[in-house]
């Protein structure tokens, strides 16, 4: 059979195009900000992970320009060989200090970070316990590691313990969870996870891609939020969200980081982060350290939107993060809602099956510390009107 035969069958995206509600790959002709130019129209951006609004910060941009001038456009090699710059090391040291960990190593993307960490740490004789709603990169990482994967029901600590009880003592055990779940905005039950890990001799890894700059008094993420920074063995994060750049990192002990550096194929065989990306991430981190009030601004604008949507009778998933999913239930209605909102100058993301259970489709909205209340009021009005049209 021809390998490409599968590509000829009609797909869901073909149907969405035929219906005129295809919601993906919209073109921007401006930078990421609270308002963007999308498809030639000014649009309030409620679908970005630019949580601190630093992608348009002049100091962050200037740092990237300076790095381009000094180091050029790329490193032309992996960190393992010729691709380590002094600014790579400086960023890692600053992150380690900020996160209260002994050491940090950086990867070229957040997705690659999970692949590189888990595939190096875990092997055939190990077991990885994975929350069912963890990010796709965690699932792929476990496959790459050849470790045995056991999924536990989302944030179900009873189920997690039942699974832990069945693992032989001779197996290495890693419990891995998103800190903030990217679709729902829920925060993981880290205190309970840590307690179970200690009880059963497991290690804990937190994917804090959506936690850094979002949770904790200083924005250090989920572990700081719960006061458990010394109890999480590995923290993974990204630069593409709060730190307004591209790349990812792992924070742990010096020995664990050193081991991964010498055993992670996704790390060893990938080119290092570009100088511009390193410099912008470092400048954004500096902003966060010097202005922790940005985290409060982010929480305040998210609360304003959350409270406002509730007053309008909009059904949301309630959380303490700047991710606010709105129920529309039906997949087709989700696509149509995105289209209607975009026509009205508001961008949101559709979340449909299989990313959600059938009949639980969502509009994922997310917020930025630099959003204004006036923008939120305009967006809320349009959301309510569109949901009324669709009878949601």
Q: Which residues are catalytic?
A: 182, 210, 241
Q: What does the block give as tokens for 354?
A: 């299989």
d(CA 390, CA 386): 6
Contact in structure between 128 and 136 (CB atoms under 8 Å):
no
Among candidate residues 225, 374, 212, the one with its CA nearest the CA of residue 294: 212
With residue 86 as reference, give the H or E element that holds it: helix 86-99
Burial annotation 182-199 (CB, 10 A radius, 16+ → b, else e): bbbbbbbbbeebbebbee
- Is the N-terminal amide bond of 191 cis, ω within 30° of 0? no
Distance separating alpha carbons of residues 76 and 67, to the nearest angstrom: 15
Termini Cα distance of the chain: 45
Among all chains, which residue has been given the structure tokens 């996704």? 266
Phi, psi angles (nearest 5°) of residue 204: -120, 130
User: Which residues, 6 or more positions from 289, have their beta carbon under 8 angstroms from its beta carbon?
Assistant: 98, 218
CA–CA separation, 198 vs 80, rounded Å?
A: 34
Tokens of 248: 């990812």
* Cα 55-61-67 angle, rounded to 5 deg: 130
- The Cα 217–Cα 221 span in angstroms is 9
In the three-class reduction of DSSP (H, G, I as helix; E, B as strand; rest coil), residue 242 is classed as: coil
């Amino acid at each position: 059979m021809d390998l490409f035969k599968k590509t000829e069958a009609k797909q869901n995206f073909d149907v969405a195009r035929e219906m005129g509600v295809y919601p993906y790959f919209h073109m921007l002709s401006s930078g990421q900000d609270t308002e963007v130019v999308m498809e030639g129209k000014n649009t309030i951006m409620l679908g970005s992970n630019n949580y601190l609004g630093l992608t348009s910060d002049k100091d962050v941009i200037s740092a990237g320009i300076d790095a381009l001038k000094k180091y050029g456009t790329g490193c032309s090699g992996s960190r393992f060989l010729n691709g380590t710059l002094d600014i790579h090391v400086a960023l890692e040291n600053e992150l380690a200090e900020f996160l209260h960990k002994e050491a940090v190593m950086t990867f070229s993307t957040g997705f690659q970070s999970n692949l590189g960490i888990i595939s190096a740490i875990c092997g055939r004789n190990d077991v990885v316990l994975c929350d069912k709603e963890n990010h796709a990169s965690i699932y792929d990482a476990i496959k790459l590691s050849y470790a045995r994967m056991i999924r536990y029901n989302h944030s179900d600590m009873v189920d997690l313990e039942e699974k832990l009880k069945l693992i032989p003592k001779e197996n290495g055990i890693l419990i891995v969870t998103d800190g903030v779940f990217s679709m729902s905005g829920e925060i993981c039950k880290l205190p309970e996870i840590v307690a179970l890990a200690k009880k059963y001799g497991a290690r804990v890894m937190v994917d804090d891609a959506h936690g850094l700059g979002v949770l904790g008094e200083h924005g250090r993420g989920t572990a700081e939020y719960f006061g458990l920074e010394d109890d999480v063995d590995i923290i993974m994060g990204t630069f593409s969200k709060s730190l307004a750049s591209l790349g990812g990192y792992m924070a742990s002990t010096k020995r664990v980081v050193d081991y991964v550096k010498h055993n992670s194929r996704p790390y060893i065989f990938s080119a290092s982060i570009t100088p511009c990306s390193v410099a912008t991430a470092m400048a954004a981190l500096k902003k966060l350290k010097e202005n922790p009030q940005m985290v409060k601004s982010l929480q305040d604008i998210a609360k304003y939107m959350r409270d406002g949507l509730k007053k309008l009778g909009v059904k949301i998933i309630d959380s303490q993060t700047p991710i606010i999913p709105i129920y529309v239930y039906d997949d087709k209605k989700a696509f149509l809602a995105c289209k209607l909102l975009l026509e009205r100058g508001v961008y949101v993301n559709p979340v449909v099956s299989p990313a959600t259970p059938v009949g639980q489709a969502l509009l994922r909205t997310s917020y930025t510390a630099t959003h204004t209340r006036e923008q939120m009021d305009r967006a809320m009005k349009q959301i309510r009107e569109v949901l009324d049209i669709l009878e949601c």
